[in-house]
Chain A
Amino acid sequence: MEAIFDFFSNPYYIQILTITGVYLIAALGLNLITGITGQFSFGHAAFMSIGAYTSSLLTLYLHTPFFLNLLLGGIIAALFGVLLGFPSLRLTGDYLGITTLGFGEIVRVVFINTKITGGAFGLAGIPRETNIILVYLIVVLTIISLYLIKNSRFGRGLVAIREDEIAAEAMGINTLFYKVEAFAVGSFFAGISGALYAHLIQYISPGDFGFSRSFEILNFVVIGGLGSIPGTVVGTAILALAPEFLRFVQEYRMLIYGALMVLMMTFRPRGLLGGVDLFQVWRNFRHKGLREKI
């Protein structure tokens, strides 16, 4: 019991759990775009940076309340999601991937060359507003809203688009509209995550939201299992925590991290929980258990 208390009073553990939660929100957003709707996005970190910069600039210059800034960070990111979505979501597959990649670079370069964002120096001195309770409260809200979306008419439409876009269109789904909407919601969560990140780390620079960060988030989703919400949670938890917990092997940790990924993709190409319905598993398990008892 005391060990558990020690664990939760250690600021180092709190810090990494908080940052994991922040990544989780972004990853859940990407899961809606890439996992459920099946649209490639390599520019998710760009939406994070839009949320991060929006909320930080509001906090630093206009001194508006944090919750408003957090929300606005998400909304502005969502607006850019729509803006990017309309022209680019007519594309599919690799072409869309390249477009989002380009968008990510544009955002980064704009932030580097704009005066108010501090250019390549970044923004320092952002007040710390994010805490672990707030982050996990938002994580829970995100998970609930994603479940609601996934099980709604809209969500089923998105899955239909992923499975077969032409068939979905034939069934009367306005595919472009649905895709843009999914993009906006996903970007909204990325924006929220970016805003939380900025108010946690207290220093942001365009380099923090480069291509590698986008790819990292995509990894979380793919390892966990595309389209699976519990999968995204598990994937993010493992990959975000692994570099920290592998610290004791020092120089070899990135090697092990890489090996873990190769193994994963070889043995479970659909991700840890890809294509697994946890409710179904639970039901099967109970049935089996009952049968054995009888």
Chain B
Amino acid sequence: MKRKWYLFLLVALMSAALVVSGCGSNEKTTAGDTIKIGFLGGKTGNHAHYGIETLKGMQMAVEDINNAGGLLGKKVEIVEGDHGSNSSEAASVTQKLITQKVAAVIGDPTTGITKLAAPICQSNKVVLMSAGAVGTGVVELGDYIFRDCLLDAVAAPVVTKYLAEDLKWKKVALVTTTGLPYSESLTSIFKPALDKYGIEIVTEQNIMEKDNNFSAQVTALAQKQFDGVIFTGYYNEGALFMKEMRKQGLQQVMAGGDGLLGKELYEIGEEAVEGSMVYTGFAVDTNNAVEKTKDFIEKYQAKNNNAQPDMFSAQGYDAVMLIADAIKAAESADPTVYREKLVQTKDWKGVTGTISFDANREPIKSPVYLLEVKDKQFAVKTVIPVTD
């Protein structure tokens, strides 16, 4: 009996120690010496890859700023807010960043968590710059909410135009992953675009996420004549879908958004995805890259064993630079002040291309990179400038 009580006491003490040690780590705010920028994202969990790459890009940007003498004479510092890809923690983490008096919160790379963090940033009047939330209904959440990623609403019509005018596509099959918000919204953007450039949708097929047998849908496609497949889902299903097409003797290629962008596409799809096209807001294109982008790629490679930067690191870099330039222009790190300058951003040159914010604070980015799978690698097929 006595021993049991000691154990109980031990566990209770351990738990109390946890709580108390947590309280102790309450950082003293050193306002004045540095400008703090918050990183919101998952360094662990399902979306860890996105978070880690975004943070890498941010760290490179901060290093560049500090090496060039800092911002308004102060050093810039990143405060990390890791929520472990866990939506229930994200709200607390965002709140924590704000209590640490950050000038801006950068992240989260996913739409869901950005929507969760948005009302908190908005009510505290702190700028939230998402480096990857491409879904709908993000910036509508408040006038302190921004994003710097390539929107499907911008890219899909440009790509459709290319398919119609340069590749002479006349008829397509449209494949949607139902229940996946990304896919459903992309389909709703592609439909009017296809209509506008005179491409006919001969058949629409629906698949489910994590499906791995698409024989029914592909059999339905085999009955029709078409030039290519518009696939709005993710790479796993995309790769398997193409495999099934080749199995049934269909030779068309597919085109889709950056949901298809992942080495898994050609690792799973192998020969079946050769020639398939994916658009993205950033690609390593050493032949055509401008000086600034080349510089970024080289620096990234030097730091990461020659690995190539991806969209998330580049967007993370640009997000910090966008904020920094707005702070410089406004000569203040107060979000209520520099926000005015940020809104006016026009033809701003970053490593991912040119960024302007339109009247609704939505980013208009140029160019769009169209990649093609070639010999089990993504190769830049063409770079399409966004005019308008």
Contacts and interface: CB of A to CB of B under 8 A. Distances in A.
A174 B152 CA distance: 59
A63 B282 CA distance: 44
Interface string B90-108: 0110011011000000000
A246 B84 CA distance: 12
Contacts of A113: 179
Contacts of B124: 11
A280 interface: no
B7 interface: yes
Given A251-B43, A272-B11, A124 B95 contact: no
B87 A267 contact: no
Interface of A: 6-7, 10-12, 15-16, 19, 109, 112-113, 119-122, 124-125, 128, 200-203, 205, 207-208, 213, 238, 241-248, 250-251, 254, 260, 263-264, 267-268, 272
B15, B18, B26, B184 pick with most chain A CB within 10 angstroms: B15
A205 B182 CA distance: 14
18 contacts: A11-B95, A15-B95, A112-B179, A121-B136, A121-B137, A124-B118, A124-B141, A202-B116, A208-B87, A213-B88, A241-B19, A243-B84, A245-B19, A250-B43, A254-B44, A254-B84, A263-B11, A268-B11
B61 to A, nearest CB: 22
A246 B11 contact: no
A61 B84 CA distance: 33
A6 B27 CA distance: 12
B98 A11 contact: yes
Interface in B151-178: none
Interface string B9-49: 00110110011011101100000000000000001100000
A112 B118 CA distance: 22
Given A11-B95, A213-B88, A248 B21 contact: yes
A260 B18 CA distance: 11
Nearest to B14: A260
A120 B123 contact: no
B87 A15 contact: no
A129 B238 CA distance: 43
A203 B22 contact: no
B116 to A, nearest CB: 5
* Range for the number of chain B residues in contact with chain A: 35 or more
A19 B112 CA distance: 19
A12 B95 contact: yes
A268 B7 contact: yes
B335 interface: no
B82 interface: yes
A273 to B, nearest CB: 9
A128 B123 contact: yes
Contacts of A120: 179-181, 184
B115 interface: yes
B89 interface: yes
B112 A247 contact: no
A238 B12 CA distance: 10
A19 B115 contact: no
Given A264-B11, A268-B8, A244 B180 contact: no
Nearest to B124: A11
A169 B89 CA distance: 44
Given A202-B116, A248-B22, A250-B82, 10 more contacts: A11-B99, A15-B95, A19-B91, A19-B92, A120-B179, A124-B115, A124-B118, A245-B19, A246-B22, A263-B11
Given A122-B115, A245-B21, A246-B22, A15 B181 contact: no
A213 to B, nearest CB: 7
B135 interface: yes
Contacts of B14: 260
A124 B140 CA distance: 10
B256 to A, nearest CB: 18
Interface in B123-158: 123-124, 135-137, 140-141
Contacts of A15: 91-92, 95
B112 A122 contact: yes
A244 B88 contact: no
B22 A201 contact: no
A245 B11 contact: no
Contacts of A205: 87, 112
A275 B290 CA distance: 70
A262 to B, nearest CB: 12
B119 interface: yes
Contacts of A10: 26, 99
In order of increasing CB-CB distance, the 3 nearest A-B pairs are: A245-B22, A120-B181, A202-B119
A251 B45 CA distance: 10
Contacts of A260: 14
B121 to A, nearest CB: 11
A96 B18 CA distance: 36
Contacts of B141: 124-125
A96 to B, nearest CB: 26
Q: Output the residue of A207, A208, A244 with the most chain B CB within 10 A.
A: A244
